A and B are shown apart, each in its own frame.
Chain A
């Protein structure tokens, strides 16, 4: 009897040992390894509100692998040539693959496409009416010099000359940069803005219209380049744009020395640091300038749907990955990804207020968490789909230095100048873009003589040779 009891006890003990880990396994959520570009704006991923929300919603455990490689293409190259245990990669902000890169991996079977297409897009971090680039001018300098906001290219040139020669910052030193920029992004290159006064400039689509015509071979475009070359030769377009990176441009504009007269950017918040109301208050947007023919076009924006995430084909947790990304694409999750914690960072509006686009409000922002250090979401990284009614229904939080409000006013002023949608080509032709961009810089800086017909004709032939 005792032996029986002993056996039963031993059996029960062994079973209990087996039961504990078994039970543990059953309660353990499935682990998903997600690669996210590192951002100093995310305080602590382990306690991040959005990540916790997603874990709760999906029952998954999200293990984040921060990517510290800045170049997205390089990272993907390394990832697909390694055996790193990653199920999902999130894209966004500056961490986006170049055109065609994902298609190539997909065609090789490296990327899992649930419906045969890239389903997990990022729609909503910015409004769809984004402008290719916007001119921002130093209104304090204009006031100091008794000059008006320019309406034509001619007036703009006069202003730049005064910025250069008349010491508008009043420090007695000729340290002014009339027009600053960077070639690192189309919107930061002021030449792209000026060309809009001559032609329907669209660098994001290889300057091609839908009917297969390349505007970069038109005489009007050449006139624009001639004008830009003149500005460059006079030192009005600063030669620092050739070497300036995005961050160096930011340093120039935010300098306490107050040295920049004008710059271009599709969002003022991309160049002026947050929490810098004094510098933000110096600049106002200038609507597109009229060229010699009275034309003025806003530069068309990129506006291609951006891929927010991919699932790796080698992942053994595709179902869980789909669950996570589908959840991220839901309205509820997208609003968190865009605005932060509901009830704390934002609330639904009763519609009695006015949005920053002067429409009925739908969202009241309590805390402005975009591009600041926070722990509520991934600051624009990852897939989302924010309905337009919310994007355009955001109220102003009353801060004059709120860049979203400043941008919204500029976008409304530029909207009437956007060329019709049919002018744009379907996508971007990398080879053609590289060719046109290189020549653009050469013509503006005088490395190639824009006034020489032979040089121009050679350039046009080269471009036509690349157009399919």
Chain B
């Protein structure tokens, strides 16, 4: 009887152990992946290339079509390596990457995303679904070495533009003027719930209540009467009456180009299309701000099977050790600013001369639910 009891007990324990081992299996595998990825190992581009030649096609999920030109330059420089680009809108990219991870898929190797709404940090970085890769030989050339845990490789801005075909100079000096009824239906902006950079600007404004109040008082000579609302809520509700919400910055650009819009709020990198003849000009001086600084990051997706190609691609995108910008060139255009000391900005006007604020990602994360409900209400009220 006793022997039988021991047998049963040992059987149960064995099963339990197997279950525990199985349950740990995924983590153990992942840790094995992390150890194998050796993200802090010093490796030259040549060493990575040699190893990359034994790997498969590198899949890059990106929110920027410019990555396709980096891919072309990369494939030219490194014969035998292939890159596949999947171009997605930021919330869709985060969803896809999350889904892939949950389903154990290793479909994505490198992620290029706007990282300022807090969502990317909260859902992808803090959860360990993606990792920054910044070799020390490149890290030492960063303008702001302490802030690169997000893998930022370029700065841009989400900011105001005016129609330079309709106005010789910007017709406003204060952001509250956007609420003027003469601009009804004449301001275009992407839906903040589907654009991380727009969301960063829309949400970031809430942190600057004092500045908004001062600007209102300067313009109208009196304190704003916001009723029960905060000043930021009052501001957005007032301006939203004039806004046409779009799906992306491309539609904002086209509305400015066709003359449908007097103003547009969009990413500064669209300035590169000025050369194509679109009538638009950036608003650099506006009380209290004309937009916010944003950044784009490049990260390696956890469980990537093509780790050496991924590392090589990111090094290439950063501008390698020597600041060779073949990989970064597609991003080094008007409306962008370099993160490195040895690579010049794409824009002539320095970032610190533009009335931009820098959104606090933790503030965004803490207030995400409130912001999402607020903007859903705003959009609903539009219809």
The reply on A398 being an interface residue by CB < 8 A is yes
Chain A 332-354, CB-CB to B under 8 Å as 1, else 0, gives 00000000000000000001111
Answer yes or no: A151 CB below 8 A from chain B CBs.
Answer: yes
Residue tally, chain A, CB below 8 Å to B = 29
Q: Is A247 an interface residue (CB 8 A)?
A: no
Query: CB-CB < 8 A to B191: which residues of A?
Result: 353-354
The answer to whether B383 has its CB under 8 Å from any CB of chain A is yes
The interface stretch among A37-45, A111-119, A139-147, A206-214 is A139-147
B380 at the interface (CB under 8 A from A): yes
Contact (Cβ within 8 A) B88 A287: no
Q: Let me know if B68 is at the binding interface, CB within 8 A.
A: yes
Enumerate chain B residues within 8 angstroms of A148, measured Cβ to Cβ. Answer: 275-277
A149 within 8 A of B: yes
Q: In the complex the two chains form, what is the Cα distance from A354 to B190 in whole Å?
A: 10
Given the interface pairs A351-B383, A400-B65, the reply to whether A358 lies near B276 with Cβ below 8 Å is no
B89 within 8 A of A: yes
A198 beta carbon closer than 8 Å to chain B: no
Question: Which residues on B sit within 8 Å (CB–CB) of A405?
Answer: 247
Asked whether B65 lies within 8 Å of A277 as measured between CB atoms, the reply is yes
Check B374 for interface membership: any CB of A closer than 8 A: no
CB pair B250–A409 under 8 Å, yes or no, is yes
Assembled-state Cα–Cα distance A409/B87 (Å) = 18
For B273, the closest partner residue in chain A by CB is A139
Chain A residues, CB < 8 A from B245: 354, 358
A460 to chain B, nearest CB (A): 37
* A399 vs B72: C-alpha distance when bound (angstroms): 20
Say what secondary structure dominates the interface of chain B. helix
Our pick among A149, A356, A413 for the contact of B277 (Cβ within 8 Å) is A149
Q: How many Å lie between the Cα of A131 and that of B277 in the bound state?
A: 24
The distance in angstroms between the C-alpha atoms of A149 and B274, with both chains bound, is 10
Does the CB pair A354–B258 fall under 8 Å? Answer: no
Beyond A352-B379, A358-B245, whether A142 also contacts B276 by CB under 8 A is yes
Contacting residue for A358 out of B89, B244, B272, CB 8 A = B244
A284's nearest neighbour on chain B, judged by CB, is B276
With A354-B246, A358-B245, A401-B87 known to touch, is A143 a contact of B276 (CB < 8 Å)? yes
Say yes or no for A297: interface residue by CB 8 A criterion. Answer: no
| A400-B247 Cα distance, complex, nearest whole Å | 11
B277 touches A278 (CB 8 A): no
Would you list which residues of chain B between 272 and 294 have a CB under 8 Å from chain A? 272-273, 275-278
B376 within 8 A of A: yes
A281 at the interface (CB under 8 A from B): yes
Is A313 an interface residue, CB under 8 A from the partner?
no
**Alpha-carbon separation in the docked complex, A396 to B247 (Å):** 7
Q: B368 contacts which chain A residues (CB < 8 A)?
A: none
CA distance A360 to B379 in the complex (A): 9
Q: Which residues of the partner chain A approach B65 to less than 8 Å between Cβ atoms?
A: 277, 281, 400
Instruction: List 14 other contacts, CB 8 Å, given A400-B65, A400-B87.
Output: A139-B273, A142-B276, A148-B277, A149-B278, A277-B85, A281-B87, A352-B379, A354-B194, A358-B251, A360-B383, A395-B247, A396-B89, A399-B89, A413-B258
Interface residues of B (CB under 8 A from A): 65, 68, 71-72, 85-89, 91-93, 191, 193-194, 244-248, 250-251, 254, 257-258, 272-273, 275-278, 376, 379-380, 383
